[in-house]
Chains A and B, each alone.
Chain A
Amino acid sequence: MEHTHTAAAEHEQHGHSDAAVKTIWKTFWILLGITVVEIALAFLHLETGFPSRLVLNAIFLGLTVVKAFFIVAEFMHLRHEIKNLILTILIPLMLFVWFIIAFLADGDSWKNMRKDLAPGNPKAPAAVEAPHAHH
């Protein structure tokens, strides 16, 4: 089972050596750049209130996924593995899509129920429908 490096593979790796190191540093600058952009946006929001919290969070989540992609694809080398390996890792992780939707929706519904059952609620049946009726 142990892995041996054949002469051909070694030759190939020597040949691609500089390119590989270049890719590593390129990935580093991408990750650093994204982090700097995230922090800059956070400060922009602190100082000016722009972009709004909702937009900002969406941007943060998107950039997090981009960073995760570069770490897994380049640093962990998954992009250069064969399809069988990529799929056996990524398909089970797709469960997260449903976990996140289901559990966050559950939390949100819990919050709404607690609001509705807070002391003094509901005052009128209509209060249940209006989101800003009472706190």
Chain B
Amino acid sequence: MDTAVTAKKKWWGGGYSPFNVSYGKLMMWYFLMSDAFTFGALLISYGTIRFMSTSWPDANDVFHAFPFMGHMNLPLVFVSLMTFILIMSSVTMVLAVHAGHTRDRNGVVKWLSWTIVGGAAFLACQAWEWTHLYHAGAWWGRNPFLNVDGTVASTNFTNFFFTITGFHGLHVTSGVVLNIVILANVLKGTYEQRGHYEMVEKVGLYWHFVDLVWVFVFTCFYLL
């Protein structure tokens, strides 16, 4: 991004990164690529098991509760709220990265703080959803929900649901921890001294990846 890109530049001639990014950012991209394969493997194995099952529980019957709404039937509403929170926190993260580009320290602090709030809110929602499902009798190895065709379902549904949303939640958790560490550094003035806020960009990449994975988890578990 720093050097002007001209058509004649010999990217592989040595002397600078042929990818035009720093080592740290490139390695973050490669880490995210490997993480994409991990999530891909989990979601594809879920798809495989779903394809081999003669019937499967209906997401609209399973995920229909909302906090403080008692037994009202509200399919999809709560997970839509979770999706909105995560998209919103992704936006505040890009705004933090953007503030870092213009060396606006207060802007970085403000937007990074909102990102942390969004991440924490998402985790709180997930904790509520897991608790609700647990009290409904669902857990690894236990599945109280019937298949669409009325037959008794195997535990594949709950096993995959808790494993994949749990693995995603673990990523959100580590993302929130990373954001807090970076925020502490911003407040300490570490990046002001360093002369750039690239660390915010690297953590930002990770945070957007977490949002990206949620897009697929949302589709695979709640919509399909």
Task: Name which residue of chain A comes closest to B149, CB basis.
Answer: A135
- Report chain B residues within 8 Å CB of A114: 52, 54
Q: Is A68 an interface residue (CB 8 A)?
A: yes
Q: Is the interface of A mostly helix, strand, loop or mixed?
A: helix
Q: Is B60 an interface residue (CB 8 A)?
A: yes
Contact digits for A111-126, partner B, Cβ 8 Å, 1 yes 0 no: 1001100000000000
Distance A5 CA – B201 CA, assembled complex (angstroms) = 14
Q: Is A84 an interface residue (CB 8 A)?
A: yes
Known: A28-B87, A100-B47. A64 touches B216 (CB 8 A): yes
Known: A68-B215, A76-B208. A24 touches B80 (CB 8 A): no
* B22 and A2 form a contact (CB under 8 A): yes
Report which of B11, B83, B94, B101 forms a contact with A13, defined as CB distance below 8 A.
B101
- Report chain B residues within 8 Å CB of A103: 44-45, 47-48
* B208 and A75 form a contact (CB under 8 A): yes
* A64 and B219 form a contact (CB under 8 A): yes
Q: Which residues of chain B from 14 to 72 have a CB within 8 Å of any chain A CB?
A: 18-23, 25-26, 29, 33, 36-37, 40, 44-45, 47-54, 60
Distance A57 CA – B219 CA, assembled complex (angstroms) = 9
Known: A35-B87, A67-B215. A82 touches B5 (CB 8 A): yes
Task: Name which residue of chain A comes closest to B104, CB basis.
Answer: A17
Interface centre among A3, A46, A81 (most CB of B within 10 A): A3
Distance A27 CA – B29 CA, assembled complex (angstroms) = 21
* B223 and A17 form a contact (CB under 8 A): no
* A111 and B52 form a contact (CB under 8 A): yes
Interface centre among B2, B75, B223 (most CB of A within 10 A): B223
Report which of A4, A88, A111 forms a contact with B54, defined as CB distance below 8 A.
A111
Count residues of B near A (Cβ-Cβ below 8 Å). 60
* A82 and B20 form a contact (CB under 8 A): yes
* A28 and B91 form a contact (CB under 8 A): yes
* B54 and A42 form a contact (CB under 8 A): no
* B19 and A115 form a contact (CB under 8 A): no
* A93 and B208 form a contact (CB under 8 A): no
Known: A76-B209, A104-B47. A85 touches B21 (CB 8 A): yes
- Please give the distance in Å from A65's CB to the nearest CB on chain B: 9
- Please give the distance in Å from B91's CB to the nearest CB on chain A: 5
Task: Name which residue of chain A comes closest to B88, CB basis.
Answer: A28
Distance A111 CA – B215 CA, assembled complex (angstroms) = 28
Distance A75 CA – B115 CA, assembled complex (angstroms) = 14
Distance A135 CA – B81 CA, assembled complex (angstroms) = 39
Q: Is A107 an interface residue (CB 8 A)?
A: yes
The 7 residue pairs across chains A and B that have the minimum distance between CB atoms: A107-B51, A107-B48, A110-B52, A107-B52, A85-B19, A3-B22, A64-B219
30 contacts between A and B (CB under 8 A): A3-B196, A5-B195, A5-B196, A21-B98, A24-B94, A27-B91, A28-B88, A28-B91, A43-B76, A57-B223, A61-B219, A67-B215, A71-B212, A75-B93, A76-B212, A81-B1, A81-B20, A82-B11, A82-B20, A84-B18, A85-B20, A88-B29, A99-B40, A103-B44, A107-B47, A107-B48, A107-B51, A108-B52, A111-B51, A111-B54
Contacts beyond the supplied A17-B98, A93-B36: 8 A-B pairs with Cβ under 8 Å: A3-B196, A21-B98, A32-B87, A64-B215, A82-B11, A96-B40, A107-B49, A115-B54
